[in-house]
Amino acid sequence: MDHSNYVIDQMISAKSIAARVEELAVEIGTHFADTDKLIVVGLLRGSFVFIADLVRELDLPCEVDFLETSSYGDGMKSSREVRILKDLRGEIEGRDILVVEDIVDTGHTLKHVINLLQTRNPSRLEVCALLDKPSRREVDVKATWTGFEIPDEFVVGYGIDYAQRNRNLDHIGAVRFLDK
């Protein structure tokens, strides 16, 4: 795959992301203030930077676990077929759960994950998504907290990739393909 045929235009700065993560942590902390231990479930791989920053800002006892799902492969469009590649290590029955997602696009992955986790009888299950693209939604699903609503653009950075590249950017950028 030729990775020289695109440029990345900054959409959301690192400073804006950091400020919003702090705000989200306060809102989440208030919501879960009565919990004895929150289980923060990151959806790999795109959420790993976001979840790391978010849990450092949370003023709550928390445990971190991960689910890895796949619906994109190396492409830019969701296949709508959600596969669980890595399941949780611990039990969640009767526990407070915060699912952390990088981006809610069609909603298929998040809906699948919510349905799966609900079968395990958590006490509460809420969702925090860094990015939301409501114009792309195909199923009825919504995050409890959203960092930023964005237009229908293919984005990278802050953990989000294009063909496993650009996760290390400190900002969110829109991918713009160059004419050949």
Residues with catalytic roles: 105
Question: Tens digits of per-residue pLDDT, 17-32?
Answer: 999 999 999 999 999 9
Sign of CA dihedral 51, 53, 55, 58: negative
C-alpha distances out from residue 31 to 4, 60, 84, 132, 168, Å: 44, 11, 28, 21, 31
Q: Which whole number is the average pLDDT over 46-56? A: 96
The answer to whether 7 and 176 have CB atoms below 8 angstroms apart is yes
What's the confidence (pLDDT) of residue 3?
A: 56
The answer to whether 102 and 47 have CB atoms below 8 angstroms apart is yes
Tabulate helix, strand, coil % of the chain (nearest 5): 25, 35, 40
Name 131's bridge partners. 103, 148
- For the cut 80, the answer to whether the pLDDT of residue 73 exceeds it is no
Fold of the domain spanning 15-150: Rossmann fold (3.40.50)
What's the confidence (pLDDT) of residue 151?
A: 96
Domain residue ranges of the chain, discontinuous segments joined by +: 15-150
Confidence of residue 84 (pLDDT cuts 50, 70, 90): confident
Indicate the pTM of the whole model: 0.90
